[in-house]
C-alpha cells in the first residue's frame, strides 16, 4: 500500500483530506505519525510557494509522497489581509480565538456591504527524489463575507466568522460534509482526488 503524508497536525484539515481520499488504497499519515519532522518556515510570497516548500521538504524527510496545503482568508477591506499570515494573524501561531478577535476589531467600523472576503487554498503534492520528484499544485477559492459575530461551533480557524451567502450561514454553522461541497479546501481536494490515482498509479475503489 502506498503511503501519503499529509503535512499537517491540524485534525480538522486531516479529517477533510481523509474523507475525500477514502476510496483510494492509501495509508494516509499526518505529521503526528512521524517521530521527527522538520519545522518548515512559511516564508513564501504566496500560498502556492508555502505549500510547495512544505511538500518538498517533508517528502524528502519522510520518503513518502506528501500533500501540503497553505490556506487563509483574504479580506477586501483589509487589502487582502490576513492572507498568507492567517494562522498567525494575532502573532501567535494557530490561536483561533485571538485571530478572530483581531479580525473583528480591524473590521469594527466596516459596513456589511464592504466586508467581502474569500477563503483561499493552495494544495501541493510532491514525490521525493527516490520516486521521481513529481510536483503538482492547485488553487481554489470560496467567496463570502465576514460576519459581525462568531456563529457556530463547527470547523476551525475563521469558519465561525465566514458567512456563506448561498447557505445563509457561517461555515461554523455548517456540518463538515456540507461545507466540503463548496469550501476552498473541498474544491481543491476534489481536484486532488481526480488526479491522485494517476499521480500515484493506484486505482480507486468502485
Neighbours of 169 (CB within 10 A): 18
Q: Is residue 69 annotated as a catalytic residue, yes or no?
A: no
Contact 170, 145 (CB under 8 A): no
Give the integer Cα–Cα distance in Å for 46 and 96: 21
DSSP per position, 14-42: HHHHHHHTTTS-EEEEEGGGSS--PPPP-
Backbone dihedral angles phi then psi of residue 73, each to the nearest 5 degrees = -115, 130
Neighbours of 41 (CB within 10 A): 10
Which residue, among 136, 173, 143, has the nearest Cα to 51 in the 3D structure?
A: 136
C-alpha to C-alpha distances, 136 to 31, 45, 144, nearest whole angstrom: 20, 18, 27
C-alpha cell at 8: 499537517
Choice among 27, 70, 159, 175 that is catalytic: 70
Cα three-residue angle 68-72-77, rounded to 5 degrees? 160
Q: Which residues are catalytic?
A: 70
Amino acid at each position: 500500500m502506498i503511503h501519503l503524508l499529509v503535512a499537517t497536525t491540524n485534525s480538522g484539515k486531516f479529517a477533510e483530506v481523509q474523507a475525500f481520499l477514502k476510496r483510494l488504497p492509501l495509508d494516509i499519515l499526518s505529521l503526528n505519525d512521524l517521530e521527527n519532522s522538520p519545522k518548515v518556515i512559511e516564508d513564501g510570497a504566496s500560498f502556492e510557494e508555502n505549500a510547495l516548500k512544505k511538500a518538498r521538504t517533508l517528502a524528502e524527510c519522510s520518503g513518502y509522497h506528501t500533500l501540503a496545503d497553505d490556506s487563509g482568508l483574504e479580506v477586501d477591506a483589509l487589502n487582502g489581509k490576513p492572507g498568507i499570515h492567517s494562522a498567525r494573524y494575532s502573532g501567535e501561531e494557530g490561536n483561533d480565538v485571538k485571530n478572530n478577535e483581531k479580525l473583528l476589531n480591524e473590521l469594527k467600523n466596516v459596513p456589511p456591504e464592504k466586508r467581502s472576503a474569500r477563503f483561499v487554498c493552495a494544495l501541493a503534492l510532491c514525490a521525493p527524489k527516490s520516486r521521481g520528484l513529481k510536483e503538482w499544485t492547485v488553487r481554489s477559492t470560496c467567496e463570502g463575507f465576514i460576519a459581525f459575530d462568531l456563529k457556530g461551533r463547527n470547523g476551525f480557524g475563521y469558519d465561525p466568522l465566514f458567512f456563506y451567502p448561498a447557505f445563509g450561514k457561517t461555515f461554523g454553522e455548517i456540518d463538515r460534509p456540507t461545507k466540503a461541497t463548496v469550501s476552498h479546501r473541498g474544491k481543491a481536494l476534489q481536484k486532488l482526488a481526480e488526479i491522485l490515482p494517476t499521480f500515484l498509479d493506484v486505482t480507486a475503489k468502485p
